[in-house]
Chain A
Amino acid sequence: MPQLGSYTLLAPVLAASVWALVVLIAELFSVGRRHLAVAWLTVVALVSTAILTGSLAERGVFGGAIALDGLTVYASVLACALAALSVVMAMDYLPTTGIKGGEYYPLILFAVAGVVVMAAATDLIVMFLGLETMSMAVYVLAGIWKSEGKSNEAAVKYFLLGAFASAFMLYGIALVYGATGSTVLSEVAAGAADAVPGPSRTLLLIGASMLLVGFGFKVAAVPFHLWTPDVYEGAPTSVTVFMATVVKLGAFAAVIRTMLVGLEAVGGDLWLALWLGAAATMTVGNFVALRQKDLKRMLAYSSIAHSGYLLIGLAAGTPEAGQAMLFYLAVYGVMNLGAFGVAMALSEDGATEQRISDLAGIGHSRPVLAIAMTICMLSLVGIPPLGGFLGKLYLFKAALDAGLTGLVVVAVLNSVVSAFYYLGVVRTMYFERGNENPQPLAPRPFIWAALALSVVAVVLLGVMPGAVLSGASVALEGVLLGP
């Protein structure tokens, strides 16, 4: 029996899951208007988990399956921060919808616990379990507005396609296990490096491809993106923003550990598939986004396009590309929180549908929200000095260093195309006439506070990226793969 190792190594996972249970029980005793107390408890849970994780100095692997290293710390702290901002926005947003149950908050915490496990897993099966923990919480969250048909529909679609993707991933893990005799990443990596061309090598390649298909579904890569616009539109907006930021972070953190570092030896053979996947994902996402009339659908296609940019890092396959991906995930998270935050601040009745044309004239009637939206849109295009620019710069530079000139050209052209629809939103806000005297919005202090934090973060990541950048580079130093 191998040594398990110190329980400190499990601290991030334990903190997130124990807090989820505590909030679940606290929710039982909250009646009437005390939902807000549960929400604050959730924020405390997320912040304390982030602080605890950030302060851990010990590094190692627990029981061969859960690693505590830079990558775990970076992904967990970022996931907690993004989730906390989405929870603060939900405090104001949920009362405008028909969502009654307080189970919303524990489910967010369970999903975050799943993300932490995904980021920390050094065993493919443990990663699969983390993925399922996260996914199941999010399936329910997508459908949590039970009286709204669209929310139900989003949950059913997300569930069926998500479960389909999980099955692919599981079968892929089975084949990798067959080829290398283990599911622990270090042993898989050793087996992959030794594998001579032959049946075992073929099995490994098929397995790794199926793993990629499963990840492709989760990060909404073309051609596995079809669920994204429907689910993003149908789910309550505070859940959509959680899916776009935290869920994508979890999936990419797991991709970085398993594919970029663990299965590095296989990456070379899948190079063409990753290249084509990245190019197709960017192009399809951006071109279809051009034609969208609904704000949430447009942001859904934009999130597909950004997955394409992130996949460039995977195609490059170098540690620098991994760092750039991690930094981009932070920038991408706060940009999306800002954009969806404005959508939530403007929605009167929590409606799942929100047309871009409804934004007409808010440049004059609601100047502060319009400025926040403009900053986020400019950052999504990648205009300096905002965070989106630096994120793309590091990503494209890592790809150039890895020799992917063609892919970078495609990505830059795509960024130009994306300017049309992002700036289209800005044009609608400032240059189209809307309702001159709109109803005053109900005060929503929490959304405004979270929105302000997100926008400040977008700007700060552009002008002073130091702390996050060094976190991302530490994360890729000494990634642990097993005992």
Chain B
Amino acid sequence: MMEPLATPAHYLVLSAIIFCIGALGMVVRRNLIVMFMSVELMLNAANLAFIALANRLGNMDGQTIVFFVMTVAAAEAAIGLAVILALFRNKPTVQADEIGLLKW
């Protein structure tokens, strides 16, 4: 029988890499929408970690949790875009550097 090409450990490493890309994007990028996308990347990295760990541990908890997280991410997307839109109506920009009424 052939060894599977990717083991749960590989997926865990991949999820850590994706999480770091998201965290870095949040810190480096200044476009509100891109920053928000970075956060979504981090949440999905956590999802991948849950699935990989569920596979390794052999219990279903991790896979169920992913559904909850997807719901949370969807609700967060709805609220995040609404909040950014409300800001955009007063000041048409999505650049974090250009919204400076409060010291960032």
Q: How far is the CB of B88 from chain A (nearest CB, A)?
A: 9
Given A171-B19, A183-B61, A234-B101, answer yes or no on A163-B36 (Cβ-Cβ < 8 Å).
Answer: yes
In the complex, what residue of chain A is closest to B59 when comparing beta carbons? A181
Bound-state Cα–Cα, A166 to B72, Å = 10
Q: Is A233 an interface residue (CB 8 A)?
A: yes
Name A's interface SS. helix
Q: Is A160 an interface residue (CB 8 A)?
A: yes
One of A13-21, A135-143, A416-424, A470-478 at the interface:
A135-143
In the complex, what residue of chain B is closest to A234 when comparing beta carbons? B102
Bound-state Cα–Cα, A129 to B69, Å = 8
Bound-state Cα–Cα, A167 to B24, Å = 13
Given A139-B79, A147-B90, A230-B103, answer yes or no on A156-B45 (Cβ-Cβ < 8 Å).
Answer: no
Per the 8 Å Cβ criterion, residues 185-242 of A in contact with B are 229-230, 233-234
One of A36-44, A172-180, A270-278 at the interface:
A172-180
In the complex, what residue of chain B is closest to A231 when comparing beta carbons? B102
Bound-state Cα–Cα, A394 to B15, Å = 44
Q: Is B17 an interface residue (CB 8 A)?
A: no
Name B's interface SS. helix
Docked-complex contact B72 and A156, CB < 8 angstroms: no
Q: Is A125 an interface residue (CB 8 A)?
A: yes
In the complex, what residue of chain A is closest to B69 when comparing beta carbons? A170
Bound-state Cα–Cα, A182 to B76, Å = 25
Docked-complex contact B65 and A125, CB < 8 angstroms: yes
Q: Is B13 an interface residue (CB 8 A)?
A: no
Q: How far is the CB of A202 from chain B (nearest CB, A)?
A: 13
Q: How far is the CB of B86 from chain A (nearest CB, A)?
A: 5
Q: How far is the CB of B14 from chain A (nearest CB, A)?
A: 13
Bound-state Cα–Cα, A108 to B65, Å = 27
Given A164-B42, A170-B69, A174-B49, answer yes or no on A233-B102 (Cβ-Cβ < 8 Å).
Answer: yes
Docked-complex contact A174 and B46, CB < 8 angstroms: yes
Docked-complex contact A140 and B79, CB < 8 angstroms: yes
| B residues less than 8 Å from A159 (CB atoms) | 79-80, 83
Docked-complex contact B75 and A153, CB < 8 angstroms: no
Bound-state Cα–Cα, A96 to B89, Å = 22
| A residues less than 8 Å from B89 (CB atoms) | 146
Bound-state Cα–Cα, A160 to B40, Å = 11
| A residues less than 8 Å from B57 (CB atoms) | 177-178, 181
Given A143-B86, A155-B83, A160-B36, answer yes or no on A136-B76 (Cβ-Cβ < 8 Å).
Answer: yes
In the complex, what residue of chain A is closest to B62 when comparing beta carbons? A177
Bound-state Cα–Cα, A178 to B15, Å = 13
Docked-complex contact B83 and A156, CB < 8 angstroms: yes
Residue-wise, chain B 77-104 has the 8 Å CB interface mask toward A (1 for contact) of 0011011101101110000000101111
Docked-complex contact B87 and A156, CB < 8 angstroms: yes
Docked-complex contact A157 and B50, CB < 8 angstroms: no
Bound-state Cα–Cα, A177 to B50, Å = 8
Neighbour of B102 across the interface among A139, A153, A181, CB < 8 A: A153
Neighbour of A182 across the interface among B36, B61, B102, CB < 8 A: B61
Bound-state Cα–Cα, A182 to B54, Å = 10
| B residues less than 8 Å from A152 (CB atoms) | 83, 86-87, 90-91
In the complex, what residue of chain A is closest to B49 when comparing beta carbons? A174
In the complex, what residue of chain A is closest to B22 when comparing beta carbons? A167
B35, B79, B99 — which one has the most chain A CB atoms within 10 A of its CB?
Answer: B79
In the complex, what residue of chain B is closest to A184 when comparing beta carbons? B61
Q: Is A154 an interface residue (CB 8 A)?
A: yes
Given A132-B76, A152-B83, A153-B87, answer yes or no on A170-B46 (Cβ-Cβ < 8 Å).
Answer: yes
Bound-state Cα–Cα, A178 to B51, Å = 10
In the complex, what residue of chain B is closest to A165 when comparing beta carbons? B39
In the complex, what residue of chain A is closest to B54 when comparing beta carbons? A177
List 28 A-B pairs, Cβ < 8 Å: A128-B72, A129-B68, A129-B72, A136-B75, A136-B76, A143-B83, A146-B89, A149-B90, A152-B86, A152-B87, A153-B99, A154-B102, A155-B86, A156-B32, A156-B87, A160-B26, A164-B26, A167-B22, A167-B23, A167-B43, A167-B46, A171-B49, A174-B62, A175-B49, A177-B57, A178-B57, A181-B57, A230-B103
Q: Which residues of A contact B (CB under 8 A)?
A: 125, 128-129, 132, 136, 139-140, 143, 146-147, 149-150, 152-157, 159-160, 163-164, 166-168, 170-171, 173-175, 177-178, 181-183, 229-230, 233-234
Given A150-B102, A170-B42, A177-B50, output 15 extra A-B contacts at Cβ < 8 Å.
A132-B75, A132-B76, A140-B82, A140-B83, A143-B83, A143-B87, A147-B90, A153-B99, A155-B86, A157-B104, A160-B26, A160-B36, A164-B39, A177-B62, A178-B56
Q: Which 7 A-B pairs have the closest CB atoms?
A: A167-B42, A152-B87, A178-B53, A174-B49, A230-B102, A170-B46, A163-B39
